[in-house]
Structure 1
Amino acid sequence: MTKPPIHPYIPIFIGVISVSLSAIFVKLANADAGVIAFYRMFFSVLIMLPWFLMNYRHEVKTLSKRDWLFSAIAGVFLAFHFILWFESLNYTSVASSTVLVTMQPLFAFIGTYLIFKEKITLKTIVAGMIAILGSVLISWGDFQISGSALYGDVLALVACALVTGYLLFGQDVRKRLSLVTYTMVVYSISTITLFFYIIAKGESFGPYPAMEWFWFILLAIIPNLLGHNLFNWSLKWVSTNVISIAILFEPVGAAILAIFIFEEYLSATQIIGGLIVLAGILLFALDLKKFFIKKA
């Protein structure tokens, strides 16, 4: 294996900061959730389009009807993931929303168990119960604040389930396509879905103040294209588990930024519940034997 030009942990760290900014940018924007999601995806597609047309457009011809169906489902799920997650930020805090959305690995396990009949291990059951306990604690604490905060938590959890569906339907197609082509296809379908959602809701495509366009473009460039591409680049030199664990720091980074930008100070239940959720997901992601049992 070739030596990386820089230590992989450096781009991983930058990637975590990049995705942590997603909720911050959404909260700074004043447009409707569907509009923010649309322009995030639209500008991502627009930026990728020249590179795709020059180097990867031939791969589209290799997609089967099944590939198009699964890509379409993945794109629709991704669209509604963004709509519900962005909407949740209107009701609950950045910390609660991002922690609950980060429960995706556990939702993914439920999906693979139901669809692919993967086995359930004791570690998975314990990890799931720990994470669920943490999410209940967060939601209970938010309910004490207001019913709308609890509503925001529910939206974030449904958004988490939807992004899991996006990953499950997309993983089979992704195996046969380059990252650029797969991303271009799914992001395009997601953009089209969001376009018709905005029309159906009667929301406005514009005009918006210059700062709104600034947040839309930053959402496309930093969390979408920079953050996730840095993770994908790092996978050449580190394991998937390293990336999975690194992503757990997204809600930590988002919560810290929210304190300074929005003065969203954390309650005791948010801190304790968030730590419990992250501990459960960490237990799920880690192969504990590698850490506690030495090879003979």
Structure 2
Amino acid sequence: MSAKNVSEIETLTERASTTPVEPEAAASAPEAAEAPASRGRGRYQAMVLFAVCCLALGGVFVRWSEAGPVATGAYRSLFAAPLLLGISLAMSRKSSPKRNGNENDAGADGVKTHRIGRRDQLLIALGGIFLAADLCLWNISFLYTSLAEANLLANLVPFIIAPLCFLLFGDRVPWRLVFPALLALAGLYVLVILGTGLDPDHLRGDLLALTTAVFYALFLVVAKGLRERYEATRIMAGLSLVCAVVCFAVAAVMGESVFPTSAKGWLVLVALAVTSQVLGQTLMAHAVKFLPLQLAAVFVLLQPVAAAVYGLFLFDQWLSLVQIAGIGVLLVSIYWAKHLLESRK
């Protein structure tokens, strides 16, 4: 989740477009509340930064894993599924006294808690397949391109999901999105064409990471519809389980090593699940609800920067000045596009 994760967070949690006021601040005078609110915002900013650092570790653990990259993604989703299911059951039990025994009443988050129908089960399977394709391609891309580029290119989701929502749901796409889109194309040219020197392996990794954004956008479109009818952790548990099964099947077909060969290998998989899936996703989903949209977007775009630092110190992945320039252009275009799309909410 991939900072590309911020799009998932925004879609699945439907976070508010303004910063909520802390309960203590609401109970006191505005002057007395200003300082606590400022301290609270600082706490959430630190939380987002920590979450970004955790999310950026995904590529590190994929490179360290004794299992293949696709199998590693399978374990990440598999370990997340029971956690998400447990959270969903806990939330369901907490809200059950308020439903007065009516299973079709809304749950704690305002969505219905009725049984998942056959059509939505098929949608969960489809969404899980899209998520698996995203994870497979992204994890493989780490083996060919730098951690920074893989994280950055997967963040181009806003340019893909906007036209998808227009085609499928008739959502209006702001015409001004053309300008950041053109800027993104320029950044892609600088980073992928000029920056790689058309090296076949490096180019392959960049294209895999770019295709990741397409499948992630498709996943978000499916998840968006499901999220309107069901509680988030409930559907994410099902999506994660389907994703894990598909990834294991793909890993077997590709002849990857599916099982780690040492205790260290298992610890790497557990660390991946804890940092990227549990700490990263959970803290990000919680903290961004208490920050202004533009500020949250800036923090989330620091994930490629964190990945670049990891790549430099852990794998000696130096970026050329041309690559840094392309990354800078892409970061500006993504932030610009997110600002245009979020201002319409």
The answer to whether residue 152 in structure 2 is matched with residue 99 in structure 1 is: yes
CA deviation digits over 1:236-281, x for unaligned, max 9? Answer: 4235554333221110111012111111111112100000001101
Q: Does 2:216 align with 1:163? A: yes
List structure 1 runs of 4+ shifted beyond 6 angstroms.
57-60
Q: Report deviation, 1:208.
A: 1.9
2:22 is matched with 3
Q: Aligned-residue CA RMSD in angstroms?
A: 2.5
Structure 2 counterpart of 1:256: 309
2:97 is the alignment partner of 1:78: no
Quote how far apart the aligned CAs of 1:217 are.
1.1
Compared CA separation, residues 116 and 203, structure 1 to 2 (3 A)? same
TM-score, with structure 2 as normaliser: 0.77
- Secondary structure of the 1:202 match is coil
Moved more, 268-277 or 176-185: 176-185
Task: Give the count of matched residue pairs.
Answer: 290
Return the alpha-carbon distance in structure 2 between the equivalents of residues 55 and 251 of structure 1.
33
- 1:84 offset after TM fit, Å? 0.5
Q: 2:336 aligns with which of 283, 287, 290?
A: 283
Q: How much has 1:173 moved relative to structure 2? A: 0.6
Contact 1:137/1:269 (CA < 8 Å) preserved in 2?
yes
Change (3 A) 1:287 1:49: closer
* Residue matched to 1:294: none
Q: Deviations over 1:93-119 (max 9, x none)?
A: 112211111111211112112222333
- Map of 1:293 onto structure 2: none
Query: Which runs of structure 2 are paired with 1:34-45 in the superposition (5 Å)?
Result: 34-45=70-81
Larger displacement relative to structure 2 (21-30 or 263-272)? 21-30
Select which of 7, 13, 22 maps to 2:49. Answer: 13
CA spacing shift, 1:111–1:239, aligned 2, 3 Å: farther
> Is residue 84–residue 236 contact of structure 2 (8 Å, CA) maintained in 1?
no
Q: State which structure, 1 or 2, has the greater radius of gyration over its C-alpha atoms.
A: 2
Partners of 2:260 and 2:341 lie apart in 1 by: 53
Identity of aligned residues (%): 24
Contact 1:127 1:281 in 2 (8 A): yes
Distance 1:207 1:228 in 2: 25
Letter matched to residue 222 of structure 2: F
Residues 72 and 137 of structure 1: CA distance in aligned 2, closer, same or farther (over 3 Å): same
> Which amino acid in structure 2 is aligned with residue 25 of structure 1?
F
The answer on 1:246 being equivalent to 2:290 is no
| 1:180 alignment counterpart | 233
Q: Distance in 2 between matches of 1:256 and 1:207?
A: 27
Q: 1:202–1:61: structure 2 CA closer, same or farther, 3 Å change rule?
A: farther
- Mapped partners of 1:236, 1:153: distance in 2: 32
DSSP 3-state at the match of 1:206: coil
Structure-2 separation of matches of 1:257 and 1:199: 30
CA distance in 1, matches of 2:341, 2:162: 18
Maintained 8 Å contact 2:67/2:258: no
Cα pair 1:72 1:189 within 8 Å, conserved: yes
Counterpart AA for 2:330: V
Per-residue deviation, residues 117-139 of structure 1 (Å, max 9, x unmatched): 33333320001111121112111
- Structure 1 contact 42–191 (Cα < 8 Å) conserved: yes
Aligned-partner residue type, residue 127 of structure 1:
P
Instruction: Give the aligned residue type for 1:94.
Output: L
Unaligned ranges ≥5, structure 1:
291-296
Pair 1:146 & 2:165 matched = no
- Comparing 246-255 with 206-215, greater Cα deviation is found at 206-215
Structure 2 unaligned residues grouped into runs of 5+: 1-19, 25-39, 94-102, 104-111
- 1:288 Cα shift? 11
Compare 159-168 and 227-236 and name the one that shifted more: 227-236
The 3 A distance-change label for structure 1 pair 173 and 271 is: same
Q: Secondary structure at the match of 1:194?
A: helix
**Farther-moved stretch of structure 1 (82-91 vs 213-222):** 213-222
Q: Distance in 2 between matches of 1:288 and 1:175?
A: 19
Residues 174 and 340 of structure 2 are in contact (CA less than 8 Å); yes or no, is this contact kept in structure 1? no
Say if 2:148 and 2:305, in contact at 8 Å, map to a contact too. yes
2:85 touches 2:234 (CA, 8 Å); kept in 1? no
CA contact (8 A) 2:187 2:330 kept: yes
Give, in whole Å, the separation in 1 of the partners of 2:145 and 2:251.
23
